[in-house]
Every structure is written in C-alpha cells, then in structure tokens.
Structure 1
Amino acid sequence: MKFTLLIFILLTNLIYAKTLDKVSIQFNWKYQFEFAGFIAAKEKGFYNDVNLEVEFKEYDLQTDIMYDVLNQKTTYGISNSNVVLDKSKIAPIVLLATYLQKSPLVLVTQPSIKHPNQLIGKTIMGGKDELKYSSIALLFSHFGINNINSGFNSNKYDLNDFIEGKVDAITAFRSNQLYELDKKGISYNIIDPIDYGFVVNALNLYTSKKEALENKNRTLKFIEATNKGWEYALNNSEEIVDILISKYKVEKSKEALLYEAKIIKELVMRDLYPIGKVSSDLGKRLLKQLIYSGAIDQNQKIEPIFFDNDFERNINDFFLTKSQRNYLENKKIINLCVDPDWYPIEYVKDKKLYGFTSDIVKLFQEQIQTKIDLVLTKDWNESLEAAKNRQCDIISGISADFEREKFLNFTQPLLSLPILMATQNDKPFIQDISLIKEKVGILKGHFALSYLKEKFPNIEWIEVSSMNIGLKLVERNEIYGFIDNSLVLSSTIQKEFANSLKIGYRFDIEDRISIGIRNDEPILYEIFNNLVNDLDEEKKQLFLNNWTKIVEQVGIFTSKEIVIFSIVITLFLFSLMFYQIKLKKLNKELEKLSSTDKLTGLNNRFEIDKKLILEKEKVNRNNKYSCSLILIDVDHFKKINDTLGHLAGDEILKEVSNLFINNFRKTDAIGRWGGEEFMIILPFTTKKQAEIVAENIRVAVENKIFSQKINDPVTISLGVGELLRNKTIEQTLYSIDKALYIAKEKGRNKIEVTS
C-alpha cells in the first residue's frame, strides 16, 4: 500500500513537472541582492504557482544578453538602461518592468580625478553594456571621451586593478563595489552621471517582441510572479541574504549583502512607485539623449514598446468582429492616399511615406494585420481626386467638409490644430485681418477655403499646389501670407524659412485632422474609426515628437531632474566612537544632498515627485484647496551650450535658478525637472493666479542681464496647470507638458495654460 502510494506521488509529480512552462532569464551580473526579487520568486514557489519553471543564468564578460534574448537563447534579459541598442538602432525588445527607479551605476575614479574632462587619456574598466549604452556612456559622449583618446577595457573586470592603480576609473554600483572599497579603506572619487543631467533607472527586465507577442499570458505571469518576489524580498531581506549565501554560493559577507539590501530598498522607491513600474517618460528622455549623443541614427523612427495590460490590444490583437475579419481577409490590401508635401504630418520621399501619419499607418497595419499600400500622387489635389474616384480606400491627414462628405466618411480627429497665417518677418502682427486687401495663399482643395472666402471677401485667395510653393511666394513678397495649420507652418518655417518668415495671424477655426474612408465600404469605416478611438494621447504625442525634433530643438540636458543619491557607509561593530560621530554627521549632509540638485541647489526631480504626491493628497481631501503647477523650459538651450560651451550653460542655469528662488514664496516648491526644465509647485494657488505668476517670471527672465555674453536674450517657455481631484498626477503633468510644447510651438517666450 505504501509502495503504491509512493508510486502515485511520483507519477503525480512527474505529470505536474511536465505542465511547467520552461523559461530562462539572463542576469547582467553575478548573483547578489540586486536580483533578490527573482530569487525570492523562485525559492518561495511564486513561479511554480503560475506554472513556470525558471532557469537563472549568471553573467560573464563574454555574454551578449541582447543577442541571446533576440535569438531565443534566453527568454528574458536584464539591462541597466530602459532602451537597448543594436548597432545604432533600437533593438526590437519589449520593456516588461523596472525594479530600480534610480540607477546605482557610477564611475569610481582615482582621488585626483574629480571631473569627467580629466578622464581623457586615462584607462577605464567596465562591462560592455556599461561602457556603450548606459548613463556612463552618455556622460562619455557628452564630454568627448572615446576609445581613440582614452583606454577602455571591457574584457576584464577586477576591482583589485583599481585598488592597485592599474586603471584610473572603474564602473561600480553604489550598492556593491563601494562597500568593498570603504571596507578596505581605499580612497576614491565618484563621478555620477546624474550630476550631469543623465537620469536613468536600472534593473530593467525585457524580452523580445516576438516572445511578448506570441506568449503574452506567459509574459504577464512572469512579471506578476517576479513583482511578488520583489515584494517578499524587500520585506524579508535577511532570509534572502541567507539563501544567497547558502544556496547560490555568493562569496560576500552577510554584512555586505545586508548593506546592499538596504541600498536596493531605497533605489526601488516603493513610497513613490509600484514595484516594477515602467517610466515611459524616462524612456523618451533617454531616447533624446541617445540621439543627441550620436548613439542612435537621427533618421530612425523610434518608439520604445512597453508591456502592460494593454499590450495585446495596442500592438497585436486589436479587437475585430467576425465580419470585420472576413472583410479584411477578402480585401487583402488597403490603398492609402496622402498629401505628398505636408511636413511633418506626412510627406513622400523616394516613393515612401514619412511623417506623423507614417507612424500611425504602421501601427494600424500591425494591429489589423492587413497591408496598407501607398498610392503615389503628385500633390494634394490629385490625392483628393483619387479618393473621389475610389482609387484609394482611405486618405489620411484630412479634415471634413461638405463636399468631401459626398464620397468619404471621417474618423474622430487625430489632431486638432489652429489655422495660422505665415507672413514675412518685417510685416507687423495683424490685429484685424478683415482690413487686409492683398493676396493670400492657401493649398488647393483646402477644407477651409470656402469658409475663408465667405468670411473675408476682401482678400484675394491664391490657390497653390503645395505648401512649399506658397511659402516661397510669401518669401518673394508675391503674396502677403500663406494659410495652414500651426504644426505644419511652424515646423516648415523653422526648418526652411527661419530667417524670412514668421507667424502673423491666428484664425478662429481649427484643422481637425482625421482619416477619410471611402463611404461605400462601411465596415472599413468601422475598423478605422475604432483604431483611431483606441489610439491613446501618449502614443500620438510620441509619434509627433518623432517628427518635430527640429521644432523642439532639444537641449543637451534632456533628462529628468538631476539627483545625488545618499551613500550610507555601514558602521562596523568595532568602529571607534569618533568615526561613528563623524559618519552620522556625514549622513545628515548626504540626506540633504539626496533631495537637492547639485548644480542649482534646487529640489531635485525625486524630491519634487514627493511634494507632488503630498499636494495631490491635499487636493483630494479638501475641495476648496487649490494647487497649481508651472513647467518651465529655457528656450534654445542647446544653442547656448553649442555656442558658449557647457560650463557657460551651467552658469546660466544657476542664474535662472537664483532668479526663481528670489521671485517665489517660501511655501512654493522649486525644482529642477530635467536638464533645462524646471517645475514650480504653487500651493493655495488657482490656475488663473498661476498664469499671472508665470507671466511675471517670464518677464523677469526676459529682462535679466546674465553674466555670460549672449547675443540673444535668454527666455523661457511655460506650461501652466492645476492639480484636480478627477485627474491623476500623471494626467496633469501630461497636460502641462503638452501646454509647454504648444508654447514652444508658438515661438517660445510664451505661456500656455491647460484647458
């Protein structure tokens, strides 16, 4: 009987084992507390609970994690950057989770090296990815440190080489190598990329796009089990440390691992972020930094992919009814017409579609798994004729009007943009356009033409075949102005006519840009209207950012607020009392530094995040309480850096910061948000009051005489908004950031208030 029972148990276990789905994860270092969440999920059975058998792979210097993940040699990988590169291109990976919201990666140098400039000509040791794609790599690029003028060693990593003076600098984690150096009494200096504007996170979990698409449920289970493991590890650090020593044979003392656990807990930042939270904002900023550094091809269209509960809906499994699927299967190809010369919304070059629309089309094509083919036309009017004659099934970048509704149905608008008029720079700004009795150009077939002709009969309207032709006519003074929407005009003027044209007038109508669908195929309309409705604002903004870099003129410093992290040196049992007192005093100073931006002395990004949460709680509790926010960007800061140098740029940031300090109340919180951006929190202040405050500070900066000799005055653009009970902090910040973008789009040195 006992033998039979034993056989039954063994058979049951075998059957159960076969049901486990085998996956693997390649760590980016040796076993240590940095991977505690994964280890806890395995040792406490969280992976088994979701039918996963997980293999851990330790790192060695010959490992190419990205290659192994993309080629299915391992299922998941770890990166200290939330953007993974493959030969100057974004690797087709999907970011699943981020476990360290602040990166512990720093550069440890010999005591005589205190500034990045001093690294030129020196020997630097670190991992391959750390020297190529991390925040340290961005720092090197920024200061012109490369393998031509300096020595890089990524084939070996030995802390003793630094201790013995064989290398001048070495990459290190605050939670790891610093403990060893302190324990041995080694003198060193720290160069932290955060101090120079490169704010990134670390311990990013990713997989291939193929794996995420084909095994969504498995991926979701892995993330959930790992997050559970991290929760357990952070609450039971000593138990996990014992497991690391006994089972994973980690050759570190228990004290060293507990020290590491303490630092890791702080880097996870559970008080501000849910475990595993992915910051898409940091990802976007890092992309901009990589583009500026030259690590990424500027012509590459970039969209990092983040895995979340909407991944299936947004990327692969867009919901289609049976009739819609049958329709698309029979349709096979959808023909698309566009405006071939309407930068940056859409334009055709070498028979290929580019611009904002191209990103939209690629996304939709992937979602419905149906090819969308471009129909080539010579101009917009020809595209309209092709749509009317059913030569194309859809036409993008189009606004509805009475005539077009005879042959097209229209989706909800993708964009709503004001209609503006471009004039020569020396023309005065127009107060009343009804007084103008001159020629004004407009695109032939433009939706607003009938309305404008009727409302302004005194103007002689000249129809042209393309925007560039119209703007050249303005430049040559053959017509007074040219009409189009704000995005198209401002982008093209800044790209090609910056020295000759400007925006001279804003009309009271908007260009509501939609996708037009042939009206004899209602199922096609249903599909595309649903696609547009499912497109979230964040993704649209990302697509816009891909094609408006010239307008933005992103500065060198585009990362979030610079932050110095507090280093806690473990007290040894037999330390002298004098050393203990000295250490406590040092810790107090470092605690202050951890909330302060090193360059400006203002609150850093993470301190501002905390204050935002506190203010949001006040708004939620008291419906009479108001708190407004101002997001500020120093205009054309890249030009300042390129012309005067980074040190001069830093001095201007300091002077702007001092101006803020002297012009705001003690109750206001002033912080450096990232690079040349600043955030002001105004308690007990309505949005209307904040707009007045914003105007005062705008004027103060415009009128300030800076110590640096600059040809053009330093100015700022401002976005103003208010914390509301029915909106999250993220939603409010998105609205304010969008308002700031509009202020810059309107010519900078302006204020835009959220609606």
Structure 2
Amino acid sequence: MNSIKIIVLLVLLFTNLFSKQEISVQLLWKHQFEFAGYYVAKELGFYAEKDLNVEIKEITPHITVNEEVRRGRATFGIGRTSLLLDIEKGDDFVLLASIFQYSPSILLTLKSSGIKTPQDLKGKRVMIASGSEYDAEFFTAFRHIGLDFLKDTKILQHSTDIYDLINNKTDAMYAYISNEPFYLRDIGIEYNILNPKNYGFDFYGDMLFTTQRVIDNDPNMVKDFKEATLRGYKWAFENIDQTVDLIYNKYNSQNKSKQALLYEAYELKKMAYYETDEVGVITKTKLKRMVDLYYENNLLKNPLNLDNIVFEYNQQELYLTKEEKEYLQKKQVLKVHNELNYKPFSFYTSGKPSGYSIDLMDLIAKKLDIQVEYISGPSWSEFLDKLKNNTIDVMLNITPTSQRLKHFNFTIPYKKYNYIIYSNSHSKISSLDDLKGKNIALVKDFAIYEYIKQNYPEININEEDNMYEVIRSVGFGKSDATITTEPIAQNVIVENSIYNVVPTGSLILSNEEISQVNLSIATNKENIILNNILQKALQSLSYDELFGLDQKWFVRYQTNDEKLSFSSNEISYLQDKQVINMCIDPDWMPYESIKNSKHIGLTKDFMDIFEAKIGIPIKLIPTNDWDESMTFAKERKCDIFSLAMPTEERLKYMNFTTSYISSPLVIATKNDKLFVADINDVINSEKIGIVKGYAFEEIYKKRYPNNKLVSVNNIKEGLDLVAKGELYGFIDSLITIGYQIKTNYISELKIAGKFDDSWELGIGVRNDDLTLHNIFQKVVLSLDEGVKQNIISKWISVVYEERVDYTNLFRVIAITFVIIVILAYRQYILSRYNKTLQIANQNINEAYLELRYLIDTTMEAIFIVQNGKCIDCNYSAIKLLGFENKENILNKDILDFISTSSLESVLDKLTQSKVEPYEIKLISKTQEEIPVLIKCQNFKSNNKEIRIVAAFDLREIKEQNQKLQVAYLEISKKQEELHILNQILESRVKEEVEANLLKDKILQHQARLAQMGELISIIAHQWRQPLACIATCAIGIRLKLDLKKYDFSSQEGRDDFVQYLYSQIDDMEKYTQNLTQTIDDFKDFYKPKQKYNLININEVVLKALDIIEVSITKSGTKIIKELNSIEPIRMHQNEMMQVVLNILKNSYDNFKEKNISNSVIKITSNDKMNGVELIISDNGLGIEEENISKVFDPYYTTKNDQKGTGLGLYIAKAIVQEHHNGTIRAENTQDGISFIIFLNKS
C-alpha cells in the first residue's frame, strides 16, 4: 500500500512539474479549412510535442478577435490589416506570421442587384465584420477609384449568414473568395465579386498575432506555437484529402460538404504559397507598403516602427517582465552554493570558486546584471538545508527528485549524463543486482544516494563527504563500487592516479525521475519569480558561450574534436534548434532498443558522444516497431535516425551520413540446415524472413523479383518462425543475429552463411534539412576510431561473455573443414553464374534505359499516379510544370497540379479507369494556368492500381488562335479614340471583321474533314506570317497615335492620317485575302474541285515571296532570284505557292535552329524541253544522307524543338506529283540542300 501511495505521489508531482501549458487561439470565423493548420497541429500532436495544450475558439456574434486578445481572453488571434490602427492607438499587438500572402477577403453582390463595380456601392448597405472596413486593401483600393468606404456606404454588422444576402437584407456582404462563391454557385445563384486584388492591392490575410505582454512572459512558448502552427499548415496543404476528412468529421460547425472544403483548400493553397515557397512569410517590405497606404489615407497619424510590431525570435535575447526586472533591481546580490570538491562542475581552489557550473552562473549573472556571492564550505546536506531555509538563493548542479520537488523549483537541465558503475578493475560488478550484499560509496543526499537507500536496502551504503573520498573508498577496497557520471569520476581518477577504479557497467534506472543525471539550477519553492528569471537566462545563452565552457572544462574527455569545426551558419542553426528529435529501431539489440521508454544499446553510447559534440539535446521519439519509425520519418516527426542505411525509397525523404558502423549480412537457420554460400541459392526457392521496412528488404525485392521473402515485424518474430520451421532462414546483421542466438537460441539456431552484402549504417537525416545533415556528417567523420571500436567491443564482448556453449563451439569446428570444401566448389559455380547474371542484368538495364529514353523524349507530359500521388513522370512533364527536376513532383498529390477551375471535372472522372481526351488547366511552379488535353488509363502492377496520365500542352495552339483576336481587339479599342474618322473607315473595319468571321466558319467546316490533323498543321505553318503582319499593322496604327504623329487639329494632319490608315488597311486586307484564299485552296485540294490556269512559275515564286520575303531577309538571310523561265505551265497557282512557301519556311527555320551566319537562299527557274524546272537551294548544311530519303515521309521532321509536324513536304510531294503530274526530289549540295521541282507541259 505504501508503494502505491509513493507512485501516486510521484505521478502527481511530475505531472505538475511537466504539465502542458494552457493557451488559446481566437479564430476569425467559424470552423473551416481556412484554419486547418491549427486543427492539424492539435490533432497530430505538433502542439503536444512543444508541451502546449491549445484551445481553438470559434468566432461568435458580437465579439472581435482584437478585443479577445487585448483582454487576455485569448493568447493568440487571427487578425486583419486593421491591427495596424489598434497598434497606433496603443495596443501592444505583435505580428507573428501571415498565413495568406494576399487576402481572401472580397465583397459579394447578387447579379440581380446590378452592383458590378465599387462605385455601384454608393448609398448601399454593406454587411461586414467589425474592423474589416479598415482593412487596407478595402479602404485604399476602393478610395483610389472614387469610393470612400466609410462615408459612401451604410455598414451593417455581419451576421455570418449568407442568406441575408440572398434574401436582400443587405446589398453586399463581406466574404472569402474560398467559401461563399462556391456555396452560391452550388445552389444556382449568380453573383458578382468585388475583389481589391483586381485593383492591384494584394495585402496580407489572416495574420497571426499576440501581445508583447505574452512574448515578454514566455518568448519560447510563442516561438513554439508559431512553429507548430506553420508546420500544421504545411502538412494540411500537402495532405489536403486527409485534412478535409479531419475537418469534415470533427470541425464542421458550418456543415460544409467535402466538395466545398476541397474547393476552399485549393483556393487557399494558392494564396498561402503566392510568390513564396514557405507558409506564414511576413516581410517588412510588404508590411511597410500597407503602413504607408494607411498613412497616405489619413488612417494613421504617424508611420509605425516595423521593428516593434513584427516578432523576430532571438534565442539570445533575454525577455524579462516588469515584475522580474523589479525583483533583480531590489535583489542586487544572489547567494549561490559552491562545493569544495565536485570537479569539474563546482569546486574551490586558490581561494576562489571554480568549475563549469560556476562559469555558467557567472554568464547568467552577467546577462542579468546582478552580483553573485558564492558560499563555500558546507556539505551537500547542509547546502540543501540552507536552500530550504532561504539562507542561500541558488544551488547549482542538482538533479530533481520527488523529495526535492517538495521544497525546490528547478530549471531545465543544463547537462545530462548517464549513471555508470565504477568498481575495482578486477570486479565483475555491472548491475545493481551484482551490488546486493556489497558496499557502495556515495555522497550523502545525492540523488542516487536517495534512490539506492529507498529502493535497495540489500545494498550497504558507505556515506562520504565528496567525490574524492568516494573514489578513494573504491580504490582502496573500503567499498566495492560507486555510481556516478564519467566527467566527475574521470577527473578524480586522473588527478589522483587511482587507476584501479574503472567503469564496469552502464546503469539504466526504472525510476523516471533519476534515470539520468540532470544537472539543473534549483531555487526555493516559494521563490518562483527567481526560478523563472534563471530559466530564461539559461535559455538565452548562446551556442558559442556554452561551447566555450565545454572546451574549457570537458575538452580532455572529448574524442578527436580537433577534427570538428562548424561554420557560422551551422553554429547559428544549432543555437536556434534547441532539440533534435530522433527515431530508432525499438527492437534491434545490441545496436539499439527502447526499454522503459529509454534508448539503450550500442547507438546510445554513440548518441551520447554526438550530443556532447553538438551541444544540444537529442530527444528520443518512442515507436512500437521499425515500420512505425519509418512512418514517423516520412511524416517529419523525426529529425534523425540513429542508425540507417540508404535505399532508393528512403532517399525520397532522408539523406545519410557516412557509415560509422559496418556489419556483414548473414542468414540464420536451424542447426540441421546446410551452409548457405550465396543468397542466390535460397532466396528464390526458400521462405526467408526479414524485418519489414529494412533496407535489404527493398534492395533484395528489386534485385530478385521472384524472391520468397517474408516480412516480419521484428527480429524475435523472424527467428521464432525459423525455430518453428515455418521459415527456412532469417536475414540480418551478423552483430544482431549473433546477439540473439547467443541470448535466446543457443541450441536451436546457427549462422549458416555470410553474404557479399553488408550493412553500412550511418545517421539518417530528414532531407529537407541540409544544414543538419552537414552537421552530423562532420560529427561522424570526427569520431575517433579507437573510441568507436571500444564502444562496439563493449557491446559485442558483453554478448559473448554472457554465455559460452563449448558444445556448439566444437560442433562448428567439426564442420568447418566440410564447409571449406563446399565453399571452394561453390566459388567456381558462383563465378560462372555471376558472369551470366551480370550480362542478363546489363541487358535488362539497357532495355530499361531505352524505354526510359523513349518516354522522356515524347512531346506529351506523362504522369504515373498511385493512390493519388505522382510516383514518376517524364522530362516533358517536368518542363511543362516549370520545375528543375522530378523531385519537385514526386510524392505530391496529383490534384496539387490541377487548377481549381478544373478541379470539379477532374474529381468527376477520378474513379473512371479509362478517360477519353478532354481539356483542363494545370498549375505550374509559378502558379501559371496551363491549358492541356489529357487522357487517362489505369492498369495493375503487382496488384497495385496505377494510373497513367498523358497531357498535351495546348498553349502554343491557343496562342496562335489568339493572335488574330488580339489584332482585332487592338483595332476595336482604337475605334473609340478614332471617332472623328469618316464612315468609310467604319465600313472597312466592319468588312474586315465580317471577313474574319467568314474565315472562322470555314475553319469550323474544315474541322469536320477526315484529314483535320494535316490541314491544321499546314494552316498553322502558312498563317504565322500574315497574322504577324496584321498585328504589326494594328500596332503601327496604335504607335502612330500614341506618339501623336498626326495633327488632328488641322485638315492636312487628318488627311495624312486617313491616307496612312488606308494603306495599312489595304495591307491588312491583302493579308486577310491571302488567309481566306489559303482556306479555299486547301478545301479544293481535298474535294478536289480545283481551277487550273496557264501561269508562269515565276509568278508563283514572286507571290510566295510577297508573303515571306520580309521575315526571311530581316533575319539576315539573302535571297538570290534567277527566274529565267518564260513558258506558262498549266497549274493551280495557290497549291504551287504552298509548295514554294513550305520549302522557303523550312530553310528559314533551319538557319535559325543551326545559327547559320551569311545564310543564302537561291531560287532558279528554267524552261526545259518538256516542261519547267524550279530549284530552291540553301547553304544550311543539308541533311544527313541516311535521312534525306525520308524527308517526304509523313510525320518525319528534322527540327529538334519538336515544333515540326512532318507534314509540309509530304503534302508538297502530293501536290506536285498527284495534282500536277510532276516530280520533286531533295539533294544535298556542298554546303546545303536543293529541292528540284519539275512540271510537265502536258
């Protein structure tokens, strides 16, 4: 019964000591995806990891966020830009982050109201949340276009009910673009949006803020809350579907549909990452723009000091409250304990206090600007009494215990050490059980003294006054052992040459409170304010300051640190980091394990060294098995893995240091199995166990597709299955299997074979933190080889010293000779097999690379999707979305790349296994919308559903179609400015528009023809120049007007302008007629009802040059015309002009692509006996001989940019041969190529 009471008391005491901090955040609106980061941080434990218990408060009518934070009813709030006005009025609000880089705030009106612009709001009712009317974007945007928001509208208090707008209780309503528009559209109500962003005002939205009072009281809590919240938002935007499910099931007070939440999520994601790659960015530059606009509009009397209103956490800055500052001014001197001999932490020498803890206290006192009086002489027990009685203020290097917590408050530990048993070098004492009935030397009232005295009455305690007497007691045989830490014991041993006292065992205590030596600073229980001051001062010490103390006092105990140096950036990183979260394999002894929530094993010793080297704590994140550890790594719950090996899959979320432990890969079988010389002998024929998620599981499953590997949860499960005969063998490290066999399976299992592969184990570091990876790489490289071998030997020797079975030893010796013979034969077979396997693997690899090359060189973007995530893509996909490499696309939700305008149609087709081509819009890296034509097809691979998505970029096609429209729009815009022109001009413009409408109808008709693809390619090829010329005419007219080249006040100026305009319109008409004639020509070509006339070939060439010569010669190309033919030939003029244009355009494109200088095109015509010959040649380096015969094949092109369709010369050949009974051929010349066309007179 007494033990139960003690346990309950300890739980209550430590719950009180380490209880989570209660804080709250006031939301700006009702629950919705807008606040997803807060929900995720709470539900996924991000707040809990920071010891924060956060209450999330939904908005209710008649309260304002600013007032709730001002009155202290909420610790944090989400505010609008009107916060700036409150700050000027005296509120101590401080901005922490801006969740959205531009505000989602808009005004909604019904279409039926006729309110389309801000000017239409004059005299109207506007329902808006209190304070929103002062938002910078609303006030300034609308004032700039003539609406004084405060004077010209009637402002109503927001009801949060959209039906007030629908039922005409207000004319306009404040809303979020991510919410209400979706609802109105869903119920079929048409609406208008008045958005300040459309007028150039993209200010911050949803600004997280608190008060300076909160920051002064606990800046670390503010920093932790901000970091956890932004981490929540990052996770929410990366996992939208899961976040929507969370909100839908737990935070759905508005009863939103999942579709509405999805719409909101993708809209808000665009706002959160607008012009940034991080969530929550707030810059003083953008903030200053907001302040300046308030000032310019007389909302602020004076510009604000931005340094005072943006929270920039500085760990080295000391934030003290007014009460704490007054305490220090009144106190002036602190009385601090100093021991006589507790080296290297606290001792008295040469008439003054010295030691690590003393120097630490001096640094703190300097920061607090207070004097310290050190009290030396009393024993440890006497010091404890003095602190209880308030005759001293502070005790240093003291560990919290349940007994001490009744009287003292403690800071966080400034040093942590494991307990180590020290005994005589001939002793075998390595545990507390070994000490039962023996004598142990301890300093009275030390934490370990209290623990042993209370829990182990069988151990006799020899009480000593200090650590020197303790070590002497063990060295001279008065006591059998002591329990202490390495720095203290080593200091006494070295200084006093007591070398027969050595460490004989590590101690892991089941009691949570003293499982380690946690050296802290203690104050009297009543002096809470001093404890808070010392806690803040301790946390404000810089990395350089603490590192300097370590170098001074512990350098003799560090290993090879002359190899270790950090950059200024790495030092700054460590100063801000505070703690590193670590995951391990919870069941992989002797490497590592979790026992009683503590890290034990070989890697624990390494981590203690690493922790000392970097100077900040490494915190264990407990997991149940390796699979859960890997899941935590993917979810970024762990910063590092203590021991891990790189694989292709793991490199997607982890980087790895150089290995610091290496061990061969072996297989364990039952004793009756034969020796396994090669894994190839068994992996495809026998059931072999391996722990799920281990590196070699992934490696071997890829290397041996026909494997019979069986995944198990841990080593014990795998070896148990081998012992039962359910598995042939189990694969793991030599060290771990050797440990398990010697410990649990000594007469059942054996190591039956060692493979060529080995575990090369380093530290795994999350791959989004390169600085941390660099730090651990340096730490691993600085590890002393001797220290490393000592640690490994310590754990491996323990394994083999615990039990030695000589029977098994003789058995092994007996079969060794047989094994050697078998190995020799197997080696011969193995070398032959490996050579064959190597050739096969090489062939497979080459075939894979060829396939990969084909996929990467297709013009379509290809995405491979599994479970909604993109698992692979080709180069065209990377280029389409504007990324540098595929890492920016892999493992992302495919919906992240879909525009919200296309989201609904994509979601409708998401479950269909085959989707015919349809048009949607993608979102690029720069948030640009990209029109594409996509096609989807599902198939199964390894029983997993895979979806192939092919996307064809429509931008160029749409741009070509828009060029003509742009030209027309330019003319239309200028019609208003040219109202003084006569009726003739209006008539000509009208005719131009009608002519182009006629062309659109012709295009629609041609779209129904069977050979649509070929027609579009040819039209696109021939239309570029006329369209560009039309645009040039329109731009020329506009430029003349903008530059005021004509004097419209005089008749002469008007006449000059009309004459110029007529010439431009004539040119435009000529180009338009050419476009129309092209349509008619191709229509006749495919019908075919063509008109043939007797025409001279020179006439065709000159007409073609009328269209293209300017463009060609502008680029520096010279055109030589030797047109000698005089005989007319019966031909279709426009078709032959098409042939000439195509050849000329190909030469022009080739010059540009190959960057040919001094380029020349020569056109020659000659009369022959039976007809006419036309030769077009250039000096563009020609075509490779093996390809020249293919130039007339359909879809063959030599253009590298994939813009060529490969149809131009194919159609040209058809025109010459089939329609004109002629011939066309291509021949390489000395420096280029010639196309020779011959037309028969008949």
**TM-score normalised by L of structure 1:** 0.41
**TM-score normalised by L of structure 2:** 0.26
Which structure is higher in helix share?
2
